[in-house]
Amino acid sequence: MVSPPLIHTLPPAWRFALIGSIASLPVIAVLNWLPNSEATIGGGIMIIGAFVAGVIAAIRSSDPGAAGLRAGIIGGALGLLVVIVTAGTTATWSLQRVVFIVIASGLVVCVAPLFGLGSGRVGGWVANTVGSRRTTNADAS
């Protein structure tokens, strides 16, 4: 008897975070076309991607805060990577610049998951509110 191959899947919160992050990319691209837009890919994933992840998690009866937190981690890591690569290719490295990048990186690592958590919970709240109104209206008919 041949045993089935082991398929490693992501936990639901990470899967919803990745789906939300990928789904937010077109919205971020459209936001960047607006005049005077300062939207970044990391910030967009942190807020819009976490919101979408929260909506998906709430619909799938999972924790929207957990999915949003993980989307915030993804957005923060991607934003941090963009900043480091940009700073590394366009500037000379002085001690002050290195200290600034280290402190800013620590701040991003701490704050990004919190923005994701909040956005994920808001997304879950919106999904639950809209879903409850939809079932209430269907029951009333």
Sketch the domain layout of the chain as residue ranges: 13-28+35-134
Give the whole-number percent of the chain exceeding pLDDT 70.
88
Q: Is 10 exposed, middle or buried (0-12, 13-18, 19+ CB in 10 A)?
A: exposed
pTM of the model: 0.84
pLDDT in tens, 22-40: 999 999 999 989 998 888 8
Amino acid at residue number 116: G
CA 39 to centroid of chain Cα atoms: 14
pLDDT in tens, 50-97: 999 999 999 999 999 999 999 999 999 999 998 888 877 776 778 888
- Find, among 64, 43, 46, 47, the residue nearest to 124 by Cα: 64
Number of neighbours of residue 2 by Cβ within 10 angstroms: 4
